[in-house]
């Protein structure tokens, strides 16, 4: 069995690979409880992705890759080809917006299609899943270096972030939160303002928890307080992740990202998107082509069974929104940086 890349991750990890099973930290229960769920097959991994046990575009893609590897391990000798194909289809249906999911499954499928036996598939698919995990960790570290060159801080600064983009959402270290970690390591971070991120509260439950555990100075704020924080002059950059980036530089990310971009432009605060190249989807011309997932209104009407709104009231609950490229100062990937992104800049880096 290849070494579990999580053992080399910085910060709390979201997953642990054991060769015959995948352990996923149940992020729905944080910060009150650290509970690990063991998935022994592709169906279990798919359910964990759908139920948001694991979330964050890179972590979803890595988990799905491990799900395919598990499908090979448990496939029957006579039906192994159809069983693995079925597992790939099931995993593809688990979340519609995060392009990393489909990118990882396409890589796994390419390897699978070149296998000539179940034993070959079992070994090679496990190795490819580990490789995807390792590449994501390396990409996070590279993005942090690129971003620091863009920020070019001469003294400690404060930044604002949204949702969770740290070790919990990736293969380790983080995308936007990885940049924040690097600022902290370089003694260039004064403070992180973390949006609570309704309705799943990833900012308060995950980001504040992750940063606090790593002794990185963080202040939690209600989403609606972001404008007041920017108006005070306390932050120099808004740094967020992405679930999909289109050919013209438009970005789909956690709901609330678009409003932050508008606020940042008004207050002359830098707006940076940090995401691996696997998040880029050059097949989509613009953000208008991105499928936006909507979830059950119950997620807004209550929290862990406690009602917050009238029973049965209509709810608009999109998981993501689209931020146009015109509001973004820089898109940072492991391949490099696109400042003031547009279709020309995207093609240069991702032709």
Catalytic residues: 243
Token match 């049965």: residue? 312
End-to-end Cα distance, the chain: 36
Helix ranges, the chain (H): 42-50, 57-74, 80-92, 99-113, 118-151, 176-185, 202, 208-213, 226-231, 257-266, 298-301, 343-350
CB atoms within 10 A of CB 69: 30
C-alpha 211: how far from chain center:
16
* Cα–Cα distance, 132 to 151 (Å, whole number): 28
The Cα diameter of the chain in Å comes to: 66
CA angle in degrees (0–180, nearest 5) for 53-59-65: 100
Query: Is the C-alpha dihedral spanning 242, 244, 250, 254 positive or negative?
Result: negative
Q: Are 150 and 176 in contact (CB under 8 A)?
A: no
Q: C-alpha angle with apex 200: 144 to 102, nearest 5 degrees?
A: 60
Residues 61, 101 contacting (CB under 8 angstroms) = yes
Buried b / exposed e over 124-161, threshold 16 CB at 10 Å, is: bbbebbbebbbbbbbbbbbbbebbbebbebeeebbbbb
d(CA 54, CA 204): 16
CB burial of residue 230 (10 Å; 0-12, 13-18, 19+): buried
Counting runs of H as helices and runs of E as strands, what totals does the chain give?
12, 16
**Helix or strand run (H / E) with residue 37:** strand 36-39
Dist. CA 151–CA 180, nearest whole Å: 11
């Amino acid at each position: 069995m290849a070494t579990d890349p999580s053992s080399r991750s910085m910060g709390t990890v979201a997953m642990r690979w054991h060769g015959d099973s995948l352990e996923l930290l149940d992020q729905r229960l944080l910060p009150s409880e650290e509970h690990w769920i063991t998935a022994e097959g592709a169906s279990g991994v798919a359910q964990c992705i759908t139920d948001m046990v694991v979330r964050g575009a890179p972590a979803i893609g890595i988990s799905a890759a491990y799900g395919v590897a598990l499908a090979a391990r448990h496939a029957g000798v006579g039906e192994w080809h159809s069983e693995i194909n079925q597992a790939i289809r099931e995993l593809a249906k688990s979340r519609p917006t995060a392009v990393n999911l489909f990118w990882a499954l396409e890589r796994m499928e390419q390897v699978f299609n070149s296998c000539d036996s179940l034993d070959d598939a079992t070994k090679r698919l496990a190795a490819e899943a580990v490789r995807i995990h390792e590449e994501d960790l390396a990409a996070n570290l590279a993005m942090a270096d690129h971003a620091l060159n863009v920020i070019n801080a001469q003294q400690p600064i404060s930044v604002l972030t949204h949702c969770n983009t740290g070790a919990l959402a990736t293969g380790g270290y983080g995308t936007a939160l990885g940049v924040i970690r690097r600022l902290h390591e370089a003694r260039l971070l004064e403070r992180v303002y973390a949006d609570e991120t309704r309705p799943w509260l990833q900012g308060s439950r995950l980001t504040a928890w992750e940063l606090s555990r790593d002794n990185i100075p963080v202040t939690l704020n209600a989403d609606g307080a972001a404008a007041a924080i920017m108006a005070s002059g306390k932050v120099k950059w808004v740094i967020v992740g992405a679930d999909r980036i289109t050919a013209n530089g438009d970005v789909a990310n956690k709901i609330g990202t678009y409003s932050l971009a508008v606020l940042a432009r008004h207050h002359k605060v830098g707006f940076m998107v940090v995401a691996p190249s696997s998040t880029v989807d050059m097949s989509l011309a613009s953000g208008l082509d991105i499928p936006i997932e909507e979830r059950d209104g119950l997620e807004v009407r209550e929290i862990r069974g406690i009602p917050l709104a009238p029973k049965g009231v209509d709810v608009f609950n999109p998981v993501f929104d689209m931020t146009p490229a015109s509001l973004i100062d820089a898109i940072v990937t492991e391949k490099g940086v696109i400042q003031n992104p547009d279709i020309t800049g995207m093609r240069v880096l991702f032709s």
